[in-house]
């Protein structure tokens, strides 16, 4: 992840606080986001804050978020240009950092499981990272099919340089706006493949972008939470190249659904002693309705990244 150290970040900005229920494992959350950051769109600054560009309802800017020196709050610094969309922006940031979670309720439930109990005790306040931009997250998930986290980050950076619009006046580490579905949908298959994607995955990228641009997946551009994650999953899964892992991962992060669970994930299966997806799914039944948090603890326990079994 790029390191942002530029005084432009502090020009014409507003500062405010976002409260949360303690505890909050900020270090794990920041590390998770940093490993998956899209070059040119997301970065860390010199103070260890998460920074990213924002486009929301026609307003452009960037935000920087990190823990406050005291109190159970995160400190947010944002472009003054984003003030007209402050309410939906703060709602998105709360979902991105999972600030409305009740960590005690999650820990009490998952701590009853013999496998999860030591993991939960080791990382109190572990959160499930959400998304500031639903389409961006879904796109990143598709790029990550069958490749490492680092490989997916490289591909996402190439796609940003190819299709993302510049953010005027931004520091170099935040040079681009989030990639829009319209711009991807209008691109050619050859240009998408040209960033280093197999043809089938490039076709999947285009199918996803066209579905979002065409209004078929409104949950990925909505400011609200989904009414029916299962219906969303069926629509997403109907797209060519979208398998169960991608559906569950996108539902977990873009829709912020606490019971999403990618049972085909290689790392989760490894953490549970090499179970098959079917046996892992059965073992996870007792973790409902917090299976997304269980997955996050298992990933953290392995020091591993989510990795799909199939597209």
Per-residue pLDDT tens over the stretch 85-120: 999 999 999 999 999 999 999 999 999 999 999 999
Q: Which residues of the chain have pLDDT under 50?
A: 309-311
235-282 per-position pLDDT tens digit: 999 999 999 999 999 999 999 999 999 999 999 999 999 999 999 999
pLDDT value, residue 130: 97
Q: What is the pLDDT of residue 3?
A: 58
Annotated domain spans of the chain? 3-100
What is the distance between the alpha carbons of residues 235 and 231, in angstroms, rounded to a whole number?
A: 6
User: Known catalytic residues?
Assistant: 265
The CATH number, out of the four listed (3.30.310.20, 3.30.465.10, 3.20.20.370, 3.40.50.800), of the domain defined by the range 3-100: 3.30.310.20
pTM of the model: 0.93
For the chain, list the strands marked E by DSSP: 3-4, 13-19, 42-45, 50-56, 59-67, 73-79
* Residue 140 to residue 49: CA distance in whole angstroms: 21
Q: Residue 227: its pLDDT value, please? A: 73
In the block, residue with structure tokens 């190819």 = 162
CA 238 to chain CA centroid, nearest Å:
22
Contacts of 250 (CB under 8 A, 6+ apart): 137, 138, 141, 236
The predicted pLDDT at position 311 comes to: 34
């Amino acid at each position: 992840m790029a390191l942002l150290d530029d005084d432009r970040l502090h020009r014409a900005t507003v500062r405010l606080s976002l409260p949360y229920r303690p505890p909050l494992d900020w270090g794990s959350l920041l590390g998770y986001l940093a490993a998956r950051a899209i070059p040119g769109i997301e970065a860390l600054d010199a103070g260890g804050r998460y920074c990213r560009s924002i486009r929301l309802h026609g307003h452009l800017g960037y935000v920087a978020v990190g823990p406050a020196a005291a109190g159970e709050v995160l400190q947010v610094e944002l472009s003054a240009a984003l003030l007209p969309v402050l309410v939906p922006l703060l709602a998105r940031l709360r979902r991105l950092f999972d600030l409305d979670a009740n960590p005690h309720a999650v820990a009490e439930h998952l701590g009853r499981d013999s496998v999860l109990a030591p993991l939960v005790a080791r990382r109190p306040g572990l959160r499930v990272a959400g998304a500031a931009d639903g389409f961006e997250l879904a796109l990143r998930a598709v790029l990550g099919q069958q490749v490492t986290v680092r490989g997916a980050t490289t591909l996402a950076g190439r796609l940003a340089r190819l299709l993302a619009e510049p953010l005027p006046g931004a520091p170099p580490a935040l040079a681009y706006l989030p990639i829009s579905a319209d711009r991807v949908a209008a691109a050619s298959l050859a240009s998408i493949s040209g960033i280093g994607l197999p043809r089938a995955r490039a076709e999947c990228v285009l199918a996803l972008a066209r579905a979002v641009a065409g209004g078929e997946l409104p949950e990925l551009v909505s400011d609200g939470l989904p009414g029916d994650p299962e219906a969303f999953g069926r629509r997403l899964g109907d797209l060519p190249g979208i398998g169960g892992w991608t559906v569950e991962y996108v539902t977990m992060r873009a829709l912020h659904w606490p019971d999403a669970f990618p049972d085909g994930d290689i790392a989760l299966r490894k953490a549970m002693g090499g179970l098959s997806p079917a046996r892992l799914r059965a073992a996870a039944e007792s973790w409902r309705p917090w299976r997304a948090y269980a997955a996050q603890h298992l990933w953290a326990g392995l020091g591993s990244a989510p990795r799909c079994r199939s597209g």
